[in-house]
């Protein structure tokens, strides 16, 4: 008898480690839609629909290729609701001699999986997930002995290791490793913005959309307008669309935000890459080729490649280096509850309403929206890290703990004490005004710090600096902002503190005061 090869919902790659060496006559590939995975946070319905439809399409492709597939649907009456339960049933059903699985993307899943070897009567082999550029062991040896880990240095090693954007002599193309200084332009009026790649739901997706609408009614997020591709071929088309239409201007307007222009020149490839439909190496190669062929400028291509070869690999490395302790730190001692409007979008702050509203419609927001609007607000307010982490893990189609947690816990909330980023990205309303048009349609005045119409980001910003003075003043990169605070009259400081206090007192918590878990 053969092996049961379990493929998780974010492992939909034909060259997956656990599918290699498959024996078509003996082995069975198992995919299972289970409630435990669909509800460990209240995922956006589009995220669940995307994954279920992609899983069903993947199963169809394998079958068409002559592979024996055992697919467990969510509404199968015998479904145990967990991955372990389904693997156990499948081993018995097929009389399998062993089970094979690829290393999962989340600590939460890995914890019980480590026990499977003991739990089940047959050997369970866990293969390394080699769909990343940097093996976990390679990251460990890079990190070993370093006091602080800096993405930039890691990224340079990756560029060298994989010979990406290098001259034949091994130097960075263009004479610099990083062209970010050129990538902070605000959006000129009238610039033509390409619509994102979209696909109409086919019959499989339509069936999944109906299932999700019925079974996950209470979850934040709309299903209407679902446009994600659900196959490797569709993801490849999305990649080609991005390279042709968006990549040339990706760098220039990477940090811009605009009402009614939710995706700008971003790729919207993260759901596909993270679920295994698109190989990150293919994406990086396609971008480099576009530069070598003169189709896109170096600032755009280098900036884009850095996100995937640099940031994406770096946050994964940190996750597996530091978990599980990483999630429990709270360096800024932040304990305020998440405000309810994160789950409703109902707030007078236009920037927040816009970003939360598009998140509800698309299960997508680009990096600066996540970092400098919803993230910045949570940082300034001092939200309990676990509460804001749950929100990010739930609401984006690309969200998995290994990538969401370092971005939110480290980059946004500074809860790791500066392990991932050397300073918090705290900013007042001025930043949002500079990088977007949100402030032009807001009830608040971004130029005011105190008073009934003052932009809440302003008082919260100064209040954040005051509340965390003991922890942040010594940070050399915060010197300038504390100088600004030092120059402030005591009466003004007091007025700001009072303004922030009133605003915070008026917020409604999303959860009951006692619990951080939403179940």
List of residues contacting ligand SF4 (CB under 6 A): 349-351, 429, 432-433, 438-439, 442, 444, 446, 455-457
391/438 with CB nearer ligand SF4: 438
Nearest to 45 by CA among 229, 217, 206, 201: 217
Considering only the stretches 7-15, 125-133, 280-288, 462-470, report the one whose residues sit in contact with ligand DLZ under the rule CB under 6 A: 7-15
Contacted entry of ligand DLZ, ligand FAD, ligand SF4, none for residue 429, CB cut-off 5 to 8 Å set by kind = ligand SF4
Per partner kind, with CB cut-offs from 5 to 8 A, the member of ligand FAD, ligand SF4, ligand DLZ, none near residue 307 is ligand FAD
Say whether residue 297 binds ligand DLZ (CB under 6 A). no
Give me the 189-208 binding string for ligand DLZ, x by CB under 6 A, dash otherwise.
--------------------
Closest CA to 4 of 89, 104, 103: 89
In whole angstroms, how close is the CB of 275 to ligand FAD at the nearest point? 10
Query: Would you say 345 and 357 are in contact if contact means Cβ atoms under 8 Å apart?
Result: yes
- 43 lies in the binding site for ligand DLZ (CB under 6 A): yes
Intra-chain end-to-end CA distance of the chain, in Å: 40
Contacts (Cβ under 8 Å, ≥6 apart) of 470: none
| Sole window of 105-113, 305-313, 367-375, 472-480 interacting with ligand DLZ (rule: CB under 6 A) | 105-113
In whole angstroms, the minimum distance from the beta carbon of 466 to ligand DLZ comes to 39
Q: What is the nearest approach in angstroms of ligand DLZ to the Cβ of residue 135?
A: 17
Return the number of the residue (116 or 314) whose C-beta is nearest ligand FAD: 314
Binding segment for ligand DLZ (CB under 6 A), chosen from 26-34, 58-66, 232-240, 493-501, is: 26-34
Q: What are the φ and ψ backbone dihedral angles of 285, each rounded to 5 degrees?
A: -60, -45
For ligand FAD, the closer CB: 42 or 84: 42
Q: What is the 3-state secondary structure (H, E, C) of 103-130?
A: CCCCHHHHHHHHHHHHHCCCCEEEECCC
266 near ligand DLZ, rule: CB under 6 A: no
Residue 9 within binding range of ligand DLZ, rule CB under 6 A: yes
Closer to ligand FAD by Cβ: residue 398 or 437: 398
Contacts with 401 (C-beta within 8 Å, 6 or more apart), sequence order: 105, 106, 107, 108, 319, 393
Q: Which 3 state secondary structure label does DSSP give 197? A: coil
Tell me the HSE value of 237 on the side-chain side, using a 13 A CA sphere: 10
What count of residues does the chain have?
A: 519
Q: Which residue has the tokens 């069903």?
A: 56
Q: Single out the residue of 2, 45, 105, 424 in contact with ligand DLZ (rule: CB under 6 A).
A: 105
Among 27, 106, 279, 404, binds ligand DLZ (CB under 6 A): 106
If binding is defined by CB under 6 A, does position 398 make contact with ligand DLZ?
A: no
Indicate which of ligand FAD, ligand SF4, ligand DLZ, none lies near residue 349 (CB less than 5 to 8 Å, by partner kind): ligand SF4
What are the distances in angstroms from CA 441 to CA 116, 349, 444, 469? 55, 9, 9, 33
Give the list of residues 6+ apart from residue 234 with CB closer than 8 angstroms, or none.
Answer: 199, 277
- 404 touches ligand DLZ (CB under 6 A): no
CB of 279 to ligand DLZ, least distance (A): 17
406 binds ligand DLZ (CB under 6 A): no
Q: Coil, strand or helix: which one is 473?
A: coil
- 8 A C-beta contact, residue 413 and residue 334: yes
Cβ within 8 Å of residue 350, ≥6 positions away: 438, 439, 441, 442, 443, 444
Characterize 462-492 residue by residue with b for buried, 16 or more Cβ atoms within 10 angstroms of its Cβ, and e for exposed.
bbbbebbeebbeebeebeebbeeeeeeeeee
In whole angstroms, give the CA distance from residue 98 to residue 3: 5
Q: Which residues of this protein are in contact with ligand FAD, per CB under 6 A? A: 266-270, 273-274, 304, 307-308, 311-312, 315, 366-367, 370-371, 375, 392, 396, 398-399, 403-404, 407-408, 411-412
Q: Quick one: which segment of 32-40, 228-236, 254-262, 280-288 binds ligand DLZ (CB under 6 A)?
A: 32-40
Partner whose footprint covers residue 8, from ligand SF4, ligand DLZ, ligand FAD, none (CB < 5 to 8 Å by kind): ligand DLZ
- The reply on whether position 70 binds ligand DLZ by CB under 6 A is no
Of the pair 12, 158, the CB lying nearest ligand DLZ is at: 12
Q: CA 152 from chain center: how many Å?
A: 19
Question: Encoding tokens for residue 58?
Answer: 């993947």
Task: State the residues that interact with ligand DLZ by CB under 6 A.
Answer: 8-10, 32-34, 37-38, 43, 48, 51, 83, 104-106, 109, 400
């Amino acid at each position: 008898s053969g092996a049961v090869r379990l493929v998780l919902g974010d492992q939909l790659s034909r060259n997956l480690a656990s599918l290699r060496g498959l024996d078509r006559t003996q082995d069975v590939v198992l995919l299972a839609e289970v409630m435990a995975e669909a509800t460990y946070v209240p995922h956006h319905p589009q995220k669940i629909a995307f994954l279920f439809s992609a899983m069903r399409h993947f199963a169809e492709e394998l079958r068409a290729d002559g592979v024996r597939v055992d697919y467990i649907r969510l509404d199968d009456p015998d479904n145990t609701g967990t991955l372990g339960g389904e693997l156990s049933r499948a081993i018995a059903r097929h009389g399998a001699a062993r089970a094979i699985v690829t290393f999962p993307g989340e600590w939460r899943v890995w914890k019980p999986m480590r026990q499977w070897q003991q739990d089940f009567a047959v050997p369970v082999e866990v293969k390394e997930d080699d769909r990343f550029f940097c093996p976990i062991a390679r990251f460990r040896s890079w990190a070993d002995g370093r006091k602080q880990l800096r993405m930039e240095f890691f990224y340079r090693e990756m560029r060298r290791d994989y010979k990406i954007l290098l001259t034949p002599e091994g130097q960075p193309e263009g004479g610099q490793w990083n062209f970010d200084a050129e990538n902070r332009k605000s959006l000129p009026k009238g610039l033509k913005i390409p619509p994102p790649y979209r696909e109409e739901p086919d019959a499989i997706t339509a069936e999944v959309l109906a299932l999700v609408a019925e079974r996950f009614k209470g979850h934040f997020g709309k299903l209407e307008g679902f446009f994600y591709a659900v196959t490797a071929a569709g993801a490849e088309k999305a990649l080609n669309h991005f390279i042709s239409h968006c990549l040339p201007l990706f760098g220039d307007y990477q940090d811009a935000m605009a009402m009614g222009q939710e995706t700008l020149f971003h790729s919207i490839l993260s759901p596909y890459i993270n679920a295994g439909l698109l190989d990150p190496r293919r994406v990086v190669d396609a971008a480099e080729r576009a530069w070598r062929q003169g189709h896109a400028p170096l600032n755009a291509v280098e900036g884009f490649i850095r996100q995937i070869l640099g940031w994406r690999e770096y946050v994964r490395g940190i996750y597996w280096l530091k978990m599980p302790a990483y999630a429990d730190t709270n360096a800024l001692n932040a304990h305020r509850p998440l405000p309810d409007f994160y789950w409703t979008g109902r707030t007078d702050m236009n920037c927040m309403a816009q970003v939360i509203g598009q998140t509800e419609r698309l299960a997508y927001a680009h990096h600066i929206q996540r970092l400098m609007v919803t993230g910045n607000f949570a940082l300034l307010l001092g939200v309990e890290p676990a509460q804001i982490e749950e929100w990010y893990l739930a609401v984006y189609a690309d969200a998995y703990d290994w990538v969401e947690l370092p971005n939110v816990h480290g980059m946004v909330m500074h809860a790791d004490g500066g392990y991932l980023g050397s300073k918090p990205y705290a900013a007042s309303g001025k930043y949002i005004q500079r990088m977007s048009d949100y402030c032009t349609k807001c009830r608040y005045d971004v130029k005011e710090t105190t008073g009934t119409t003052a932009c809440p980001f302003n008082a919260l910003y100064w209040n954040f600096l005051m509340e965390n003075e003991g922890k942040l003043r010594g940070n050399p990169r915060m010197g300038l902002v504390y100088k600004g605070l030092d120059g402030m009259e005591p009466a003004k400081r007091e007025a700001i503190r009072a303004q922030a206090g009133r605003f915070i007192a008026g917020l409604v918590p999303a959860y009951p005061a006692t619990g951080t878990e939403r179940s």
